Structure 1
Amino acid sequence: MDVLMGLLAALLWGGTDFMVGLNARAVGVQRAVFFSQTLGLLLMSLLLVVFPAFLLKLTGAAPGDWGMGVLAACFTLCGALALSKAFSIGKASIVAPVVTSYGVVTTLLAWLGGERLSGLQLVCIGLCVVGVILSSITRGSDTPHHVEPRRSIAYALLGALLYGTSLWLQGHFTLPRLGTVGMLWLGYLVGVSLLLVLMLSRGGSLKPPAPRHAFALAGTSLMNLGGFSAFAFGAMAGSVSVVTVISTLSGGIAAILGYLFFKERLAPVQVVGVTLVLLGAMVLHVKA
């Protein structure tokens, strides 16, 4: 079951990564994230109403747990904005694998917290760093006009840093106390609230997107939630490490989708870089 759920999570998250760039280019980065998170907030609120046990766990948490949850949610929101920007100006075949390097961030934070790193973990961190460098090497001859390789990788690395920090905070401080559904609800609530203030202060448009864009945004949000659900179910029914490792294949799936639908071609050195990032990230999750 854990293998099946890990594969399902990878497929859904890979599809999510692929769609993020399309949504951002169609309606703008902030609007895309805002409407996707609004749908997530509505669905999580419905779950809290239908299953009171989730709500009781959330309301029974201490104020400090709520504070850490809000902090983690802020990191998640900033990470979502950074990744949306990265996918909107970069190739999914490069950006998605680079994002999987968030495992490096969680590992380094664990090390700063007192955990010891093995030689294999240090090697994997080195592989990810070398892979990112190789992935950023471009020749520019057949690059589409909207693609900005260096900036997209910078935003992808920023997103990985923010997501990795958020996941570390959640794993150590909030998920055991707020619960998965409660933390997701709080994350969406903080994200929607902050984006609403940001967009109104800057004169951003809150006009609902056109129907075809709305369907794309809804589909992306549902795929993301489906990925989280598959991951959580697989972790409860089997091995957390197995589900986590297999789910990191989402970067490769997004890269394949980018090639199939947009004919995103990579130079040989970039293929090597992407492979190193994926390999390093997978082995890091095995040893986590």
Structure 2
Amino acid sequence: MDILMGVVAALCWGATDFLVGLNARLFGVQRSVFLGQLLGLILLSTLLLVLGRQIDLLYEVKWQLLLTCIAAALLTVMGAVALSRAFAQGKTAVVAPLVTSYGMFTTLLAWMGGEHITAIQWVGLLICASGVAIVGRGSGNNDRRQYRSAGTANVFALVAAALYGTSFWVQGQYTLPAIGPVNMLWISYLVGVVFLSPIMFKLKPADSPSLKGYCALCCASLFNLAGFTAFSYGALTGAVAIVTVISTMSGGIAAILGYLFYKDRLTLMQIAGVCLVLLGAVVLHFVA
């Protein structure tokens, strides 16, 4: 069951990453993130009403822990904005695998927090860092504008990875043991809607996307929630390490979708870098 749920999570999150780029181009970066957070909040609020016992945990949260949850949620929201910006400017086949390097930042924070890091984890960190460096140098594009755009997208992807990695470390260390993953995800969606609402009022009215655009937005939220559900169920019923490792391949799935639908073409150096990033992520999560 853990293997199946890991595969389902990887497929769902890979599809989510692919659709994030499409939504950013159709709705704009900030608007697409806000609408995605709003849809997620509605869906998860409905789920929480069904799972009444989950809501009870929130009533017992102390204000110090609540502030920590809000801080972690803000990191996640800012990561989502950076990720959307990266997908809007760069190639999905490059950006998606780069974001999977968030495990590198989580591991480093754990090490700075006093946790023991094994030799294999240091190897995973080195592999990830090498892959990131190779991807950054491997565009092979002589057009300065396109080269700068690709470089900017890669930077935003790494910023998103750093924000996600930090948020996951904070959640794993403080919030998830106390309130559980469902409540933490609900708080993240709620904070995202509240945080981005003032920005939405300042945005100029955009051209209304087609029905397909709104379908893509809804599908992204549904895929994200389905991936989270599959991951949580697999972690509860099987080996957490196996589910985590398999779900990490979502970056590779998004890269394949980008190649098939966006016709993303990568140089040999970029392909090598992407493979190293994915390999490093697998090593880090497998031994975590």
State the TM-score bracket (shorter-chain normalisation): over 0.9
Q: Which residue of 2 aligns with 1:279?
A: 279
Deviation at 1:199, TM superposition (A): 2.2
Alpha-carbon distance between aligned partners in 1 of 2:119 and 2:40, rounded to the nearest angstrom: 40
Cα distance, 1:111–1:216 mapped onto 2, change above 3 Å: same
Deviation at 1:142, TM superposition (A): 8.8
The DSSP-based 3-state class of the residue aligned with 1:12 is helix
Deviation at 1:270, TM superposition (A): 0.8
Alpha-carbon distance between aligned partners in 2 of 1:209 and 1:76, rounded to the nearest angstrom: 26
Residue identity opposite 2:169 in structure 1: W
- How many residues of Structure 1 are paired with residues of Structure 2 in the alignment? 287
Q: Which residue of 2 aligns with 1:84?
A: 84
Cα deviation digits, residues 38-95 of structure 1 (max 9, x gap): 0110111112222210110122111111111100000000000000000111111111
* 8 Å contact from structure 1 (residues 241, 286) kept in 2: yes
Unaligned runs of 5+ in 2: none
Alpha-carbon distance between aligned partners in 2 of 1:30 and 1:205, rounded to the nearest angstrom: 13
Q: Which residue of 2 aligns with 1:57?
A: 57
Residue identity opposite 1:273 in structure 2: G
The DSSP-based 3-state class of the residue aligned with 2:140 is coil
Give the structure-1-normalised TM-score. Answer: 0.95
Give the structure-2-normalised TM-score. Answer: 0.95
Q: Which residue of 2 aligns with 1:69?
A: 69
Cα distance, 1:243–1:276 mapped onto 2, change above 3 Å: same
Cα distance, 1:106–1:207 mapped onto 2, change above 3 Å: same
* 8 Å contact from structure 2 (residues 24, 85) kept in 1: yes
Mean Cα displacement is larger for which, 66-75 or 259-268?
A: 259-268
Cα distance, 1:97–1:82 mapped onto 2, change above 3 Å: same
List aligned pairs for 1:202-281, cutoff 5 A.
202-205=202-205, 209-281=209-281
List aligned pairs for 1:126-137, cutoff 5 A.
126-136=126-136, 137=138
Cα distance, 1:155–1:268 mapped onto 2, change above 3 Å: same
Alpha-carbon distance between aligned partners in 2 of 1:155 and 1:132, rounded to the nearest angstrom: 13
2:117 matched to 1:117?
Answer: yes
Cα deviation digits, residues 121-153 of structure 1 (max 9, x gap): 112111111101111221115999698211111
* Percent sequence identity over aligned pairs: 51
Alpha-carbon distance between aligned partners in 1 of 2:209 and 2:176, rounded to the nearest angstrom: 33
Alpha-carbon distance between aligned partners in 1 of 2:147 and 2:224, rounded to the nearest angstrom: 25
Alpha-carbon distance between aligned partners in 2 of 1:174 and 1:204, rounded to the nearest angstrom: 37
List aligned pairs for 1:13-162, cutoff 5 A.
13-136=13-136, 137-140=138-141, 148-162=149-163
The DSSP-based 3-state class of the residue aligned with 1:179 is helix
Deviation at 1:277, TM superposition (A): 0.5
2:187 matched to 1:186?
Answer: yes
Cα deviation digits, residues 10-35 of structure 1 (max 9, x gap): 00100111111111011100110111
Mean Cα displacement is larger for which, 142-151 or 24-33?
A: 142-151
Deviation at 1:113, TM superposition (A): 0.7
* 8 Å contact from structure 2 (residues 73, 191) kept in 1: yes
Alpha-carbon distance between aligned partners in 1 of 2:61 and 2:177, rounded to the nearest angstrom: 10
Alpha-carbon distance between aligned partners in 1 of 2:62 and 2:206, rounded to the nearest angstrom: 34
The DSSP-based 3-state class of the residue aligned with 1:148 is helix
Unaligned runs of 5+ in 1: none
Alpha-carbon distance between aligned partners in 2 of 1:256 and 1:142, rounded to the nearest angstrom: 25
Alpha-carbon distance between aligned partners in 2 of 1:59 and 1:207, rounded to the nearest angstrom: 42
Residue identity opposite 2:198 in structure 1: V
* 8 Å contact from structure 1 (residues 31, 206) kept in 2: no
* 8 Å contact from structure 2 (residues 93, 264) kept in 1: yes
* 8 Å contact from structure 2 (residues 141, 147) kept in 1: no
